[in-house]
Amino acid sequence: LAKSAAEGDIDAEFDLAVCYEQGVGVEQDMAEAMKRFQRAADSGHAEAQYKLGAAYAYGIQVEQDYDQAVAWYHRAAEQGQSDSQYALGMTYCYGIGVDPDADKASQWYEKAAAQGHKRAALELSRIGAAS
């Protein structure tokens, strides 16, 4: 993986980041994982963009920054990454880093649910029941 990542393979970069994050085959090193997630995300890797969004949302190895979280979630969600679509639904539903917007929340939940995201489907049913 390291050789492929060094040659610019963003999937290998992401996979290596996960290895560092989880300590699989290498000593766990969250700083190295975040550095590699950042490289993959900057190259357009949707899963890495989601990971960065979550890191900023929860302050994992970075200063908590909802603006950055939303920006990374958007980049991944626009590529169809369902966890990011769900996360955007949550941010708009509860006004986390954005102004609350029930329509946008529903739109993002619908996109994630259409891909089989169970929590997004639950949120949609909850919103429907509250209407």
How confident is the model over 30-57, as pLDDT tens digits? 999 999 999 999 999 999 999 999 999 9
> Chain centroid to CA 42: how far?
13
pTM: 0.92
CA distances from 103 to 17, 65, 71, 109 (A): 35, 24, 19, 10
Calculate the average pLDDT of the chain: 95
Give the per-residue pLDDT at 128. Answer: 74
Give per-residue pLDDT as tens, 52-95.
999 999 999 999 999 999 999 999 999 999 999 999 999 999 99
The C-alpha atoms of residue 14 and residue 73 are separated, in whole angstroms, by 16
SS3 90: helix
